[in-house]
Amino acid sequence: MGTNRLNSTTELKLKANDIRQDLIHMLLAAKSGHSAGPLGMTDIFTALYFHTASHDAKKPRWEERDRIILSNGHIAPILYATLAHAGYFDKSLLSTLRKLDSPLQGHPHMGSLPGIETSSGPLGQGLSQACGMALAARMDKRQRVYWVLMGDGEQQEGQCWEAFMLAAKYRLGNIIAITDRNLIQIDGTTENVMPLEPLADKYKSFGWRVVEIDGNDMNAVVSALDEARAHALANAESAPTMIIADTLPGKGVSFMEGKYQWHGKTPNADEAAIALKELQDARAKINADQ
Amino acid sequence: MTDINFATNPAMKLAPDLFAVEMAKNSNREGWGRALADMGDTNPNLAVLSADVSGSVCTNHFEKKFPSRFVQCGVAEQNMASVAAGMALEGKLVFFSAYGVFSPGRNWDQIRVNIAYNNLNVKFSGAHAGITVGPDGATHQAMEDIALMRVLPNVCVLCPSDEKQAYKAAVAAAARKGPVYIRLCREKFPIFTTDATPFEIGKINVLAEGKDVAIVTCGVLVHEALKAAKNLAAVGISAAVLDCHTIKPLDVNTLVTYAKKCGCVVSAEEHQINGGLGGAIAEALAEECPTPLVRVGMTDKFGESGSAAELLARYGMDAAAIEKASKSAIAKKAKNKKK
């Protein structure tokens, strides 16, 4: 880890709060995109980039870095905001999200921005690519950790299950997948649109090691990510790890929390003002609780 | 019209016994498979993936020699394409193959986003393409794969004509930066090129000179086109035969040169005439040099079971069909001149 490692829970919570505020500014300026998923995943992205993962914003192609692959590309705003905070590029670019000539494409494009391991958008393809990366690393006898951030709705794509099988067959223990179990997708709740449960049992039956956490509890997130990384390094040829992270979509903005209607929608100016006020109040509380 | 002698272009160094009945035959997939196994010796960075059809698509030669660099993905072509992308992202030179109807038929999205959009060093073949896969029937006859791959930015599309050219195509694909699609077939066809026959991506091989009609063809119909040209010569028609093994990037210069020289063009392929080689030629000629064109290929239909030769005859993709199309093209040219 070469970039601004934060060790205390308070520092990480404050960083997550800063990133959430930037998300609101970005989404307001972009006028289109996804709000609920990025806000729900902010704690995990913060813990990953500012605490657990080994990476260096000054050397984005550093050979030994942890690879962080975003499979559900539509939550790109949280990837962009986190990368900017980590120092991969200037934060002033965040306001250009989805605009003509911006490197911040609506869905991530490899090559447009440092820190993006692959392009993504069409769902269900990230884990497969991580499998290929891990197989290549094994052929070259290199020790690497591969993180794959996946949505829950995207696992209705059959390709995910093809990849779960392959990762287990080749015992790609250096893969750590994190499922954002926020229970929502565009048309409604996952269990109404196409039930995924019993999800943990499915992963287990596919030969995966499963860890379940509250994805918005910073202490729980940090300890789960740290444990998973240590396990991956020590057991590169074993069952891959799946972290099921229960998250609240829209986390931190009361009127978005838990609402599938905010999956693919952005706040207007009035809504953004309320959201920012709530996040600023939350920030004051984190400081007060310290 | 008087009889004229048919001769191939000596610079192409084709097999001397070009039309002999007992000519050596093999499938072009075998050439691709041999090339992979040979390249594995010199390039330790080369890796190969298959989807439960390793023996059929001839990646088993590589698998036997280099098991640790071979990945068996099972019957999961979408996953295979994305796994290949992941390996290329980590610096591997990756080859994968399955039947054309499944790859690129089933995994077009994965090829588009993971491989083409990222512009990765992944080379993939669709084997058992075309109607000559025969008895398996329409479900297994990839008649649309050229069209599917040709529209993707960054993707180079090759369609080798025989076993030797398929070998050269695989080697050239490895040397080229970025994604390359190679179309292969199952049936054994005459090996009519030699080791000395040139092969350069993006450069049409002029196999025979001619002045009345230019036959532009690819894949297993190239040999049929040569037979057609010989038969046409016997009735006094001078047909140029152009092996357009690279459908993208298309060799527009050579195409236009022969369109101007001959005044009419025939395209010939075992693929839908819409979107394939015929489509590519129609687009290029319309923009650069509008010329009467007759397209030989599948005419917006699905195939059926039968032997390769029976099906080529039934659906009008054999030497006889190319001869007929050549005469039609010449008639179109004459009609245009009268106007």
Give just the sign of the alpha carbon dihedral B246, B252, B257, B259. positive
Asked whether B174 and B88 are in contact (CB, 8 A), the reply is no
Asked if A137's CB is within 8 angstroms of B85's CB, the reply is no
The pLDDT, as a whole number, for residue B339 is 74
Distance from CA of B30 to the nearest CA of A (A): 26
What is the number of H-type helices and E-type strands within chain B?
11, 14
Asked whether B192 and B227 are in contact (CB, 8 A), the reply is no
Distance CA A217, CA A268 (A): 28
Distance from CA of B87 to the nearest CA of A (A): 4
* Domain B10-20+200-338 is found in CATH 3.90.226.10: no
Distance CA A154, CA A164 (A): 13
> Length of chain B in residues, anyone?
339
Angle of CA points B152, B158, B159, to nearest 5°: 125
ipTM of the shown complex: 0.96
For chains A and B, what is the number of CB pairs under 8 angstroms? 100
The two three-digit tokens of residue B123, written as one number: 């080379």
Flag whether residue A166 sits within 8 Å of chain B, measured between CB atoms. Answer: yes
Cα–Cα distance list, B112 to A6, A81, A93 (Å): 39, 27, 27
- Specify whether B224 is catalytic: no
Asked whether A128 and B82 are in contact (CB, 8 A), the reply is yes
Asked if A159's CB is within 8 angstroms of B78's CB, the reply is yes
| pTM assigned to the model | 0.97
Q: Which of B9, B23, B22 is nearest to B192 (CA)?
A: B23
Contact list, B69 vs chain A (CB under 8 Å): 139
Q: Which of B108, B114, B121, B124 to mutate to test the interface with A (most CBs of A within 10 A)?
A: B114
Q: Which of A118, A144, A147, A174 to mutate to test the interface with B (most CBs of B within 10 A)?
A: A118
Domains and CATH numbers, chain A: 9-289 (3.40.50.970)
CB atoms within 10 A of CB B16: 9
> Strand, helix or coil at A134?
helix
The two three-digit tokens of residue B112, written as one number: 């588009």
Burial of A207 (0-12, 13-18, 19+ CB in 10 A): middle
Q: Which of B101, B112, B115 is nearest to B145 (CA)?
A: B101
Half-sphere exposure of B168 (CA within 13 A, CB side): 18
Distance CA B189, CA B308 (A): 10
- Topology of B25-190 in CATH? Rossmann fold (3.40.50)
Distance CA B77, CA A268 (A): 43
Sorted by sequence, the CB contacts under 8 Å of residue B134 that are 6+ apart come out as: B186, B187, B305, B306, B307, B308, B310, B311
Distance from CA of B82 to the nearest CA of A (A): 5
Distance CA B180, CA B262 (A): 31
Asked if B76's CB is within 8 angstroms of A135's CB, the reply is no
Instruction: Specify which residues B50 forms β-bridges with.
Output: B72, B97
Contact list, B114 vs chain A (CB under 8 Å): 118-119, 125, 128-129
Flag whether residue B178 sits within 8 Å of chain A, measured between CB atoms. Answer: no
Decide if B10-20+200-338 and B25-190 have a common fold. Answer: yes
Give the amino acid at B279.
G
pLDDT along chain A (290 residues), means of 10: 79 98 97 96 98 97 97 98 98 97 97 97 98 98 97 98 98 98 96 98 98 98 98 97 98 96 95 98 95
The structural domains of chain B, with segments of one domain joined by +, span 10-20+200-338, 25-190
Q: What is the DSSP letter of B298?
A: E
Distance CA B16, CA A157 (A): 54
Distance CA A46, CA A81 (A): 10
Contact list, A125 vs chain B (CB under 8 Å): 82, 110, 113-114
Give just the sign of the alpha carbon dihedral A25, A29, A34, A35. positive
Distance from CA of B89 to the nearest CA of A (A): 7
The pLDDT, as a whole number, for residue B337 is 86
Asked if A136's CB is within 8 angstroms of B87's CB, the reply is yes
Asked if A128's CB is within 8 angstroms of B82's CB, the reply is yes
Distance CA A55, CA A115 (A): 9
Of B73, B87, B88, the CB nearest to A166: B73
The two three-digit tokens of residue A115, written as one number: 């820190």
Cα–Cα distance list, B229 to A234, B211, B233, B261 (Å): 67, 11, 6, 16
Contact list, B92 vs chain A (CB under 8 Å): 136, 139
Pairing of strands B156-158, B122-127: unpaired
Asked if A135's CB is within 8 angstroms of B118's CB, the reply is no
The two three-digit tokens of residue B188, written as one number: 């054994």
Contact list, B67 vs chain A (CB under 8 Å): none
pLDDT along chain B (339 residues), means of 10: 79 94 93 97 98 93 97 98 98 97 98 98 97 96 98 98 98 98 96 97 98 98 98 97 98 98 98 98 98 98 98 98 98 90
Instruction: Name the active-site residue from B30, B63, B77, B187.
Output: B77
The pLDDT, as a whole number, for residue B99 is 96
Asked whether A162 and A191 are in contact (CB, 8 A), the reply is no
Flag whether residue B44 sits within 8 Å of chain A, measured between CB atoms. Answer: no
Of A125, A136, A165, the CB nearest to B113: A125
Torsion of CA B142, A119, A156, A265, to 10 degrees: -130
CB atoms within 10 A of CB A237: 10
Flag whether residue B89 sits within 8 Å of chain A, measured between CB atoms. Answer: yes
Give the amino acid at A210.
V
Of B71, B89, B91, the CB nearest to A129: B89
Give just the sign of the alpha carbon dihedral B272, B31, B151, B243. negative
Distance CA B143, CA A185 (A): 37
H/E stretch holding B120: none
Contact list, B91 vs chain A (CB under 8 Å): 136
Asked if B83's CB is within 8 angstroms of A129's CB, the reply is yes
Distance from CA of A136 to the nearest CA of B (A): 5
Half-sphere exposure of B170 (CA within 13 A, CB side): 31
- Give the relative orientation of helices B163-175 and B28-42 as an angle to the nearest 10 degrees: 40
The two three-digit tokens of residue B336, written as one number: 């245009």
The pLDDT, as a whole number, for residue B1 is 47
The pLDDT, as a whole number, for residue B2 is 53
Pairing of strands A175-181, B70-72: unpaired
- Give the relative orientation of helices A218-234 and A9-30 as an angle to the nearest 10 degrees: 100
Q: Which of B62, B80, B89 to mutate to test the interface with A (most CBs of A within 10 A)?
A: B89
> Strand, helix or coil at A9?
helix
Of B82, B90, B110, the CB nearest to A137: B90
Flag whether residue A233 sits within 8 Å of chain B, measured between CB atoms. Answer: no
Q: What is the DSSP letter of A229?
A: H
The two three-digit tokens of residue B296, written as one number: 């030989």
Sorted by sequence, the CB contacts under 8 Å of residue A266 that are 6+ apart come out as: A27, A28, A30, A31, A32, A33, A35
